[in-house]
Structure 1
Amino acid sequence: MLRIADTRTGQLVEVPAAPRRLLRSCVHLPDTGTAPDTGTGLGPVHLRVPLIGDVLARTAELNGLQVVTVLTTPELTHEQARALERVMAVLGIHPPAVTGAHRPDAALGGPADIHVTAAGAAPVDAGAGALIEVGRVATTPPTEGTPAFPDLTGLPDATIPETADPLAVRLLLLGRPYATPVTVTGSALAEARRTLRDWRRSVADWAQQPSRPIPADLLRQSHTALAENLDVAAVLTLLAEVAERPDVPPGAKFETFAHLDRVLGLDLARDVGH
């Protein structure tokens, strides 16, 4: 069962309503004039909204649901549309079934079960589906000529040097509850890069040991956190604890990280075999 806190009521609601096993998700990109620019007319919040939509879909699939996602957008220039597509790709966001839909119900095959939008930008066509609002993203001024929020549009893919790893941005944006505002700083981004580097090295080391099943308590805690309002931050905290626990065998640590990365999308097994 996947339950989301509907912003309108503050109450947890089951999505989709039982017994249907298809989740219709409508992600609404904010207007390009509502957030700081990253050089393309798209601000950091324009990345966080589809990112949360991606985590929602991944969590639903982990719970055995089928998911169809559409992304509604304001009018974008050709360059902005290509930049959005590029940034979503390097952030590991699965492409929606339809982008730019002006009639989301038709694209979804029915009314949306849930709408994902930026805080304070509730869509006028949200209908009766549950509404979740994603917190704003702020950036600090550049220091020594280095912007806190990197330009992701020119990166070739996610398998690039740590200093420009876009998945560090993904980790940073997932490190707070989705409704909580996030401030991106150079130091926070550097810490996210270090965490990814350390976890990937550990996962590669653990992969050399005999596989062991994920401990039942860890599986239960992580799935409960995800199913109860997408508490990804709690899952990240859990992984940090698991990495240091001497009572969890290396093979079980590997399976735990690999399993939960299906939702996190951080490419944690990237260094296995290297």
Structure 2
Amino acid sequence: MLRIADTRTGHLVEIPAAPRRLLRSRVHLPAASGTGIGPVHLRVPLIGDVLARTAELNGLQVVTVLTTPELTQDQNHALERVMAVLGIHPPLVVGAHRPDAALGGPADVHVTARGADTGEVTGGVRMEVGEVGTVLPDEGAFDPDRLLAPELPDVPAPEEAADPLAVRLLLLGRPYDAPVTVTGEALADARQTLWRWRRQVADWAQEPSRPIPADLLRESHAALADDLDVAAVLDLLADVAGRSEVPAGAKFETFAHLDRVLGLDLVRDVGGQSSPERPTPR
């Protein structure tokens, strides 16, 4: 059972309503501001992606439509690129003018930015995604705004190629309806966490496989199913990594399994011939 708190009522609602096994999700990209699209335009489709991944983990089929305001060709290109580098699975239709037809029926859930004008939305559960602020004073610090700059080349520079999933981790580290502030220090911490977890996963993969402990599986799935509490899952992984009583093979299986939802590429270094360079703290 997947339950989401409807912003309009505050009540948890089961989606999709039983006994249907198809989840129809409509993600609403906020209208572009005078300066174009920005970090909140990363977070809304990201939460839609995690919702779809969680539903699939619960054995549901998912159809996702991303509806957008009028965007320039460059903005559309930037949006497609940023969804790719952040590991967001492509929606079935982008910019659909008839979303119900694309979904095969009315949406079960609407994912929107907090305070967005979606007056035409009726029915379904409404998930409002919190605002994203940026405070990046350090010269050379990775700026998520640059991911959406249309003048950037399609392939990121090597020093930035490892950073986008740190942005994903940072945005997932808070409840989806809470505001997030992206700082240079927070991004550096996220890069360090990704580096450490990937090295640990690569090391654990060399040990005999062990099943995921039942209590960890139950706790993680319950957190995801209860209003998409990804932050609790990240806390659980941090705890599991340091627990000596959990066999290395079980740690590997736990991280690999939950990464199906997190999308952080935690098994990337498994089988690698050399350790990746440790990120330089800022």
Please classify the TM superposition score into its range, dividing by the shorter chain length: over 0.9
- Which residue does 1:119 correspond to in 2? 114
- Which residue does 1:6 correspond to in 2? 6
Structure 2: how far apart are the matches of 1:261 and 1:120? 30
| Per-residue Cα deviation, 1:55-107 (whole angstroms, up to 9, x for no partner) | 00000000000000000000000000000000000000000000001221111
CA separation of 1:117 and 1:67: change in aligned 2, threshold 3 A:
same
- Which residue does 1:100 correspond to in 2? 95
Equivalent pairs counted in the alignment come to: 269
Question: Considering only aligned residues, what root-mean-square deviation do their CA atoms show, in Å?
Answer: 1.8
Pairing of 1:212-231 with structure 2 (within 5 A): 212-231=210-229
Pairing of 1:1-274 with structure 2 (within 5 A): 1-33=1-33, 37=35, 41-144=36-139, 146=141, 148-149=143-144, 151-153=146-148, 154=152, 161=159, 164-274=162-272
Structure 2: how far apart are the matches of 1:159 and 1:225? 36
Q: Is the 8 A contact 1:200 1:271 kept in 2?
A: yes
| Per-residue Cα deviation, 1:100-147 (whole angstroms, up to 9, x for no partner) | 012211110100000000000141222111000000000015333646
Structure 1: how far apart are the matches of 2:229 and 2:222? 9
CA separation of 1:258 and 1:155: change in aligned 2, threshold 3 A:
farther
Which deviates the most, 168-177 or 139-148?
139-148
Structure 2: how far apart are the matches of 1:160 and 1:255? 30
Equivalent AA in structure 1 for residue 62 of structure 2? V
Deviation at 1:249, TM superposition (A): 0.2
Q: Is the 8 A contact 1:158 1:165 kept in 2?
A: no
- Which residue does 2:278 correspond to in 1? none
Structure 2: how far apart are the matches of 1:164 and 1:235? 22
Equivalent AA in structure 2 for residue 119 of structure 1? R
Q: Is the 8 A contact 2:39 2:145 kept in 1?
A: no
TM-score, reference length from structure 1 = 0.94
CA separation of 1:155 and 1:164: change in aligned 2, threshold 3 A:
farther
Structure 1: how far apart are the matches of 2:119 and 2:255? 39
Q: Is the 8 A contact 1:162 1:197 kept in 2?
A: no
SS for the counterpart of 2:146 is: coil
CA separation of 1:162 and 1:213: change in aligned 2, threshold 3 A:
farther
Structure 2: how far apart are the matches of 1:244 and 1:160? 31
CA separation of 1:76 and 1:265: change in aligned 2, threshold 3 A:
same
Q: Is the 8 A contact 1:149 1:185 kept in 2?
A: no
Q: Is the 8 A contact 1:159 1:165 kept in 2?
A: no
Q: Is the 8 A contact 1:135 1:178 kept in 2?
A: yes
SS for the counterpart of 2:81 is: helix
CA separation of 1:81 and 1:203: change in aligned 2, threshold 3 A:
same
SS for the counterpart of 1:199 is: helix
Equivalent AA in structure 1 for residue 110 of structure 2? H
